[in-house]
Structure 1
Amino acid sequence: MGIISTPLLEEARSIFSDLGYTVSTAGTELRAERKWRVVYVTTSDPDDTPNRGDLRCFVAPEDRAASLCEELLARAPDYEWAVMELADSGGYRIHHPRTSEGISA
């Protein structure tokens, strides 16, 4: 996965905006804010991800999401994370390390 994937980030921007977050650009990532919560949204690989923030959402296409989840589970980073899997058909699914099943929307 590259440092930034504009189509994936733009889809994520739209989803977070629809969920009521205020979304801004933060370098090669997005910063989504709602109430007290700040989520850094990225398409970067975990190795290339800036070490900031307590909440991070990795955005990935369907064919990359499962392996990204496994990679993050193995790394056990010091921040809370989720993977937003963007479906080719237009929907999305959220994978969180505390759930065995993703949340679809």
Structure 2
Amino acid sequence: LMLDTIEISDLQSFAEKVSPLSPDYICIHTSADLSGVGESMHLLEYAKKIEIIRRVLPDAKIAVAGGISPDNLSHVFPLKPDVVIAGRSIWEAEDPARVASEIKKRLEKGS
């Protein structure tokens, strides 16, 4: 079971409420479109949100989604998510296969 947190304003309450479900994954999903701060700056919020989830739901694995691209993967690596979801950076690319391959290679290398 993966629960998505897009548009969840009170992550602490959400995590406490879903705790009895013992979710396998929590997707920290911050839409770059909805963040109002641009493509990369919203990634800084992931650290705070991940800390809450790891404290309240220590057994849940962490997925991150929203505005992730090859250009900002360096902000994602220190957070040590279990899953990285990239969408728009791939489907809007002139060469989606190249971008997907680059993201995959960088994730495998961890840098």
State if a TM-score over 0.5 links the two structures: no
Rg (Cα) greater in structure: 2
- Bigger relative contact order, structure 1 or 2, given CA contacts below 8 A and separation 6+? 2
Higher helix residue share? 2
Higher strand residue share? 1
Shorter-chain TM-score category?
Answer: 0.3 to 0.5
- TM-score (structure 1 length as normaliser): 0.41
